[in-house]
Amino acid sequence: MIRHPSPNFGPRRNGLRPDLVVIHFTEMRSAQAALDRLCDPAAEVSAHYLIGRDGQLWQLVDEPLRAWHAGAGAWQGRVDVNSRSIGIELDNDGQTPFSAPLMARLEALLSGILARWSIPPSGVIAHSDMAPARKIDPGPRFDWQRLARQGLALWPATTGDPDVPLKTSLDAIGYPDVAAALRLSAFRLRFRPGHTGPEDATDRARAEAVAACVLAEKW
């Protein structure tokens, strides 16, 4: 790991500590271009970590501090996601698969973060999850199931009840209260990538199964 401090950080507010990890893609031409932007005081953006396509890892902000990566949004009814999360930027253009070295490095990094801060798999979320009106990263090419197989993210192992209203399940999972179409799109980016069209029974069944996983973690 290379330490490359960014000036774009501050203290976590109101005594908050990390209970989320937010996954992003850089959507830039190279890791170096992303590194330059994340460390530019004029850009006023940062993340705790950046992982290159070749697996190189940079730490830009220390984990106990507040990086500026999430922006406006909410998760599980709480705002100021920056103060309660660790942000990881992935060197990817948003159109191509995430490289094997990048994913291997991400898995090792996540394993340590979740252990250090006692964050459950449900606390690993997409930028699009907490900001569905603004963001789509890490996008439909990101392999959430791969992370879930190692206990590093959430993916339902069974099918849920399609008769449970989608809103009920998305509320329980943690999606912010935005327009129904935006919530559905964000959910599909994560759990039904590539699917379009009106809400259907598969959406409701999968969302209810995810909500059940979140509830089971709380107990």
How many contiguous H segments (helices) and E segments (strands) does the chain have? 7, 8
Q: Nearest Cα to 83, choosing from 175, 17, 176?
A: 17
Look up residue 85 and give its two tokens.
């999360």
E strand spans, the chain: 2-3, 9-10, 20-25, 49-51, 57-59, 66-67, 85-90, 124-126
Distance CA 13, CA 93 (A): 32
Distance CA 167, CA 173 (A): 10
Look up residue 139 and give its two tokens.
């996008």
**Is 89 known to be catalytic?**
yes
Read off φ and ψ for residue 34, nearest 5 degrees: -65, -40
Look up residue 113 and give its two tokens.
């973060």
Of the candidates 89, 199, 208, 217, the residue annotated as catalytic is 89
**Beta pairing class for 49-51 and 85-90:** parallel
Active site residues: 89
